[in-house]
Amino acid sequence: MSLLSIRNLQTEFRGPAGIARAVDGVSFDVNPGEIFGIVGESGCGKSATCRSILRLFAGATARIVGGEVILDGSGDLAAMREADLARVRGRDVAFIFQDPLTALNPTMRIGKQVAEIIRRHRQVSRSAARAAALELLRDVHIPSPERRLDAYPHELSGGLRQRVVIAMALALAPRLIIADEPTTALDVTVQDQILRLLKERRDRNGTSIIFITHDLGVVSQVCDRMAVMYAGRVVETGTVRDVLDRPSHPYTRALLDALPGQGGRDRDLVPIEGSPPGLIAPPPGCRFAPRCPFAGPACTQGMAPPLHPRPGATADHLDACILTEVPHAPA
Ligand SMILES: Nc1ncnc2c1ncn2[C@@H]1O[C@H](COP(=O)(O)OP(=O)(O)OP(=O)(O)O)[C@@H](O)[C@H]1O
Ligand SMILES: [Mg+2]
């Protein structure tokens, strides 16, 4: 049984130029205790997909217009009243944003910020909440946590701030954590520590994690299963080993071929030519077809192709390419 099952999710942004369908028929499942990676070029809808899960949209122009977000035991979050969804946020599903500063209140000591999350959802005394906050700072390996409780966010480094944000996400022991590029603003060693921290939490508590990143190396290092998104849709999904070692969609292949020195070979970066289509009036057929070296006439007609398994592939390895044989791009 999946912990989270997203079915045919559609989310629109209303703007002066028209309505952009940033999420257009996205489906995937996240299993209990699994780290699920979402990758794809900037603007493909990774954040919009994940914000749709909790309806955490910045601004009022975003709207879910179709599909389901089934959280095991809670029902369809997409159909839930705002007041009920507010209880799910933090308690069952927590969100970690890219920039820790936007998630922290600059005028409040960090111990109090962590404690307040606990007090908002649970009937506990001020001192018990403070003790729990201290424990959480310890859990995320913040050095001298007793001293840090009374610090303000600006007194901490970026890495420590992101640890505080993670402590806040862990505060109510959620079953699912959504981490939207939680390490991109951090230097490489700190990135590594944060990744280890999230993995540790999964290993110890069986917490599921959705991990959005641009970095295929990170996906290969920490994720179990993954989805590759392109222009508002999932074009390939499966285990990380299937998708990265046996990619079947031309877009996934192009992404992998664009990696420098992949597979131990010294290869020059191969940028993918062209740019993704606009989301206000996307072209018919496969949205990657205009950039795809293998596209034929059938690729640019009709509906965008749905995800399907390929003959001989693992049952949960799906892609959305209609070509039966996709040759590897020349190395
Ligand atoms: N508040 C908004 N108003 C209008 N359009 C938006 C808004 N937020 C996002 N979009 C559009 O929705 C699409 C998906 O954006 P989203 O932020 O989900 O991309 P992303 O995959 O997370 O990209 P990145 O890797 O840069 O974070 C983009 O084309 C973007 O222009
Ligand atoms: Mg994003």
57 Cα nearest atom in ligand 1: 1
CATH T-level topology, domain 4-223: Rossmann fold (3.40.50)
Question: Which residue's CA is the nearest one to ligand 1's atom 31?
Answer: 43
pLDDT by 10s per residue, the chain, length 331: 899 999 999 999 999 999 999 999 999 999 999 999 999 999 999 999 999 999 998 777 999 999 999 999 999 999 999 999 999 998 999 999 877 778 899 999 999 999 999 999 899 999 999 999 999 999 899 999 999 999 999 999 988 999 999 999 999 999 999 999 988 777 788 888 888 989 999 999 999 999 999 889 889 999 999 999 999 999 999 999 999 999 999 999 999 988 775 554 444 445 688 899 999 999 999 999 999 999 999 999 999 999 999 888 888 999 999 998 776 544 4
Pocket of ligand 1, candidates 47, 99, 219, 287: which has the most ligand atoms within 8 Å of its Cβ, to mutate?
47
Pocket of ligand 1, candidates 13, 19, 55, 251: which has the most ligand atoms within 8 Å of its Cβ, to mutate?
13
58 Cα nearest atom in ligand 1: 1
> How far apart, in whole angstroms, are the C-alpha atoms of residue 230 and residue 290?
13
Cα 97 to averaged position of ligand 2 atoms, centre (Å): 9
Ion ligand 2 — residues with CB < 5 Å: 47
For residues 321 and 305, is the Cβ–Cβ distance under 8 A?
Answer: yes
Token digits of residue 33? 């205790």
Strand runs (DSSP E) across the chain, as ranges?
Answer: 4-15, 18-30, 35-39, 62-71, 75-76, 93-96, 176-180, 208-212, 225-230, 233-239, 308-309, 318-319
Question: Which residue's CA is the nearest one to ligand 1's atom 25?
Answer: 42
> How far apart, in whole angstroms, are the C-alpha atoms of residue 275 and residue 308?
25
Indicate where the chain has its CATH 3.40.50.300 domain(s). Answer: 4-223
Token digits of residue 239? 């285990």
